[in-house]
Structure 1
Amino acid sequence: MPMMVLTRLIPPEKYEDWRAGLEAFGGPRRAEYTAARTRQGITRQDVFVEHTSDGPMEIMVMEADDPARALEMIATSEEPFDVEFRGFLLHTLGLDLAQPPAGPPPEQVLDWTAPAHSPA
């Protein structure tokens, strides 16, 4: 399954809002989040935080048949949840999905999968 990984520094003053939003998307708003990701063809999404010397950093891992298309759908959807989600990204990360990225997408330099195990 194709995968995309994106990283973004979280402004320290927005960290609590970011964390609360993710807790809501994984908790009481999980059904809405699941419906949105299903519409966008996303089959898995994980979000990590790494505390760096520059501040907290979000690490997002997304699996989808077409990750670039899934991001485009998130960026352009008029579904109320998706509009609100874009607002969340803009507020907490300063990320405006309506604007083209500043550079090329991340370059994958290693793709490794464990070999299938045969029962002995």
Structure 2
Amino acid sequence: MSKLIAFATPIQEGKFQQWEQFINKINTDYRKEFSESRKNAGVHERTFLQRTPMGDFVIVTLEGDNPMSSFAKMSQTQDSFTQWFLGEVKEIHGMDLSQPMPGPEPQLVVDSK
């Protein structure tokens, strides 16, 4: 059975233009590598931009049999795409995805089913 998780992370102040370039590269130059890395990890990733008066946030959804395990697997891969991806995320969001995410796993609190 497929499981879905979501998490939000802020785009650091002054990093929005870099984030736009990052997303553009994922959707063009690195589209194949991005898709293959998620397929190899057994997860479907979707990313949303949420602009708010409190700042800009990215909302990431991961769907698969075990999204948190897949997330960890993706973050530990040593290929050049993953290393580039991890570096950009650290620079833009201040998150070191090569380390376990701090705090508990995101919790589903409402489901319309």
Normalising to structure 1: TM-score of the pair?
0.85
RMSD of the TM alignment (CA)? 1.4
Matching residue of 1:49: 49
Could you list the runs of 5+ residues in structure 2 that have no partner in the other structure? none
Superimposed CA distance per residue, residues 8-54 of structure 1 (whole angstroms, 9 cap, x where no aligned partner): 01013111111111121112221111111111111x22111111222
Superimposed CA distance per residue, residues 45-100 of structure 1 (whole angstroms, 9 cap, x where no aligned partner): 21111112221011111112110111111221112211111111101111101233
Report the Cα distance in structure 2 between the residues aligned to 1:51 and 1:79, rounded to whole angstroms: 32
Q: Say if 2:82 is the partner of 1:86.
A: no
Report the Cα distance in structure 2 between the residues aligned to 1:112 and 1:39, rounded to whole angstroms: 30
Could you list the runs of 5+ residues in structure 1 that have no partner in the other structure? 114-120
Check the 8 A contact 2:72/2:100 in 1, yes or no.
no
Residues matched between the structures, number: 112
Matching residue of 2:69: 69
Quote the sequence identity (%): 24
Report the Cα distance in structure 2 between the residues aligned to 1:66 and 1:107, rounded to whole angstroms: 14
Larger Rg: 1
Report the Cα distance in structure 2 between the residues aligned to 1:37 and 1:62, rounded to whole angstroms: 9
Q: Which amino acid aligns with 1:41?
A: G
Report the Cα distance in structure 2 between the residues aligned to 1:3 and 1:19, rounded to whole angstroms: 25
